Chain A
Amino acid sequence: QKEVEQNSGPLSVPEGAIASLNCTYSDRGSQSFFWYRQYSGKSPELIMFIYSNGDKEDGRFTAQLNKASQYVSLLIRDSQPSDSATYLCAVTTPYSGAGSYQLTFGKGTKLSVIP
Chain B
Amino acid sequence: GAGVSQSPRYKVTKRGQDVALRCDPISGHVSLYWYRQALGQGPEFLTYFNYEAQQDKSGLPNDRFSAERPEGSISTLTIQRTEQRDSAMYRCASSLFGRERSDEQYFGPGTRLTVT
Contacts and interface: CB of A to CB of B under 8 A. Distances in A.
B33 A108 contact: no
Interface stretch (A11-19, A43-51, A69-77): A43-51
A97 B58 contact: yes
Q: What is the interface of chain B mostly: helix, strand, loop, or mixed? A: loop
Interface string A4-42: 100010000000000000000000000110101000001
A114 interface: no
Contacts of A94: 101
A115 interface: no
Contacts of B107: 36, 43-45
A1 interface: no
A46 B43 contact: no
A108 B104 contact: no
Contacts of B95: 101
Nearest to A102: B45
Nearest to B44: A105
B101 A32 contact: yes
B50 interface: yes
Given A100-B48, A100-B55, A101-B99, A43 B42 contact: no
Nearest to B48: A100
Contact of B104 (A49, A96, A104, A106): A49
Given A43-B110, A44-B43, A106-B42, A101 B98 contact: yes
Contacts of B104: 34, 46, 49
Interface residues of A, number: 30
A43 B109 contact: yes
Contacts of A102: 33, 45, 48, 56, 59
29 contacts: A4-B42, A34-B105, A36-B107, A43-B108, A43-B110, A49-B102, A51-B102, A88-B43, A92-B101, A97-B55, A97-B58, A98-B55, A98-B56, A99-B55, A99-B56, A100-B56, A101-B31, A101-B98, A101-B99, A102-B33, A102-B48, A102-B59, A103-B35, A103-B93, A104-B45, A106-B42, A107-B41, A107-B42, A108-B42
Interface of B: 31, 33, 35, 40-45, 48, 50, 55-56, 58-59, 91, 93, 95, 98-110
